[in-house]
Amino acid sequence: MLLELFQLLGTDIRTFNVFQYITLRAVLAAMTALLISFVIGPRMIRWLTEMKVGQAVRDDGPQTHLVKAGTPTMGGALILTAVAVTTLLWGDLENRYVWACLITTIGFGAIGWVDDYRKVVYKNPKGLSAKSKMFWQTVIAVAALSYLAYRANLPQQTDLIVPFFKTVAIPLGTLGFIILGWFVVVGFSNAVNLTDGLDGLAIMPTVMVASALAIFAYVAGHKVFSTYLGVPHIAGAGELAVFCGAIAGAGLAFLWFNAYPAEVFMGDVGALALGGALGLIAVICRQEIVLIIMGGVFVVETLSVMIQVASFKLTGKRVFRMAPLHHHYELKGWKENQVVVRFWIITMLLVLFGLSTLKLR
């Protein structure tokens, strides 16, 4: 919105042309989202508390978590509001990738909203059933991916890029692109949701991965940089750096309120939406494998649940003391803070490793 205004003003006053730069708008988007979240945050937390939108805590979980019962949830709505408003302000609204990401994020957020609403307002502990959640996630993801596949006019927009190899690109075709994309988008959405079990555990890795994806998006959208680094050039993908900046800014501001001891939880409305957004950005930039590396904490948390369930069904024995993995470490005696900060450190290392794939090809 502001881009069009500044373009108009730039014809008379050249200073306004500085806002054409994606890097500047990405930084400004982060700052704007941060500011919006700081302004709305306390009011939203107060409102959620008054509405008694309190989180129910699993009674079979660690005993130390029982004191968290009643902490307001659905704080993800704060992140989504900040991201949506900021993207509409600073993003190029003629860019199809921005709209695809924004609509998918809000769609996933809506699924999470319904789930949370049923759980906390109607006191229905099951919320939205796993099948309907998966169904609606699939509908939104397939719609977005089909649109991207339909609008793709170069093979590099649908090929699978293998990190560390400059010349290896596996042609997927339209169907392969949609199937792999579905796996990444829906998988990551649920992975972030599973990770969101301790104060600040999900949001900081999300901020770190989103910031790294901003760099990947910028490089992919830049003809010179993408050619130099051997990354597929996706015209228009650079604009996603603004969207990633908004996620990073809103996420950092949310962490302000979500750090231990949390004043608010993000709930499914935030977790499903942020996971879906990260997945789709990686699909657009053709960095699915790099996303799996950088979001290793999310992947491992999901695998721990799958292994635990499979092992219990097949052998009747549990591999972990409790799944997801963060509860396993809590029961081993790590303090909640220790688990959270250590998982952040691991994510930081994984993000650095992921970023190194830009150069090491």
Partner 1 sequence: MIELAKARRKWLGDAHRRSRLCAQRGGDQNLRVVRFWIITMLLVLFGLSTLKLR
**The pair of three-digit structure tokens given for residue 218, joined into one six-digit string:** 């910028």
Mark 26-58 as b/e (b = at least 16 C-beta within 10 Å).
bbbbbebbbebbbebbeebbeebeeeebbbeee
CB 184 within 8 A of CB 288: yes
Q: Would you give the distance in Å from CA 194 to the centre of its chain?
A: 13
Residue 255 beta carbon to partner 1: minimum distance, rounded to whole angstroms: 6
Q: Residue 248 CB, nearest distance to partner 1 (Å)?
A: 9
- Distances from the Cα of 154 to the Cαs of 34, 71, 234, 306, 329, in angstroms? 36, 49, 9, 37, 46
- Helices 173-195 & 96-120 angle (0-180, nearest 10): 40
CB of 213 to partner 1, least distance (A): 16
Q: Which residues are near partner 1 by CB under 8 A?
A: 21, 23-24, 27, 30, 34, 200, 252, 255-256, 259-261, 337
Stretch (H or E) spanning 241: helix 240-258
> Residue 250 Cβ, how far from partner 1 at the closest point, in Å?
12
Q: How far is the CB of 121 from partner 1 (least distance, A)?
A: 28
Q: Whose Cβ is closer to partner 1: residue 66's or residue 121's?
A: 66
Q: Rg of the chain's alpha carbons, rounded to an integer? A: 20
List Cα–Cα distances, 191 to 148, 212, 278, in angstroms. Answer: 23, 18, 11
Beta carbon nearer to partner 1, 152 or 341? 341
Q: Compare residues 25 and 286 and give the one whose CB is closer to partner 1.
A: 25
* Of 24 and 139, CB closest to partner 1: 24
Q: Phi then psi for 160, rounded to 5 degrees?
A: -90, 120
Beta carbon of residue 261, minimum distance to partner 1 (angstroms, whole number): 4
CA 298 to chain centre: 10
Cα–Cα dist 254/124, whole Å: 26
46 vs 166 by CB, closer to partner 1: 46
Nearer Cβ to partner 1, position 115 or 336? 336
| Residue whose CB is less far from partner 1, 32 or 104 | 32
Q: How far is the CB of 56 from partner 1 (least distance, A)?
A: 21
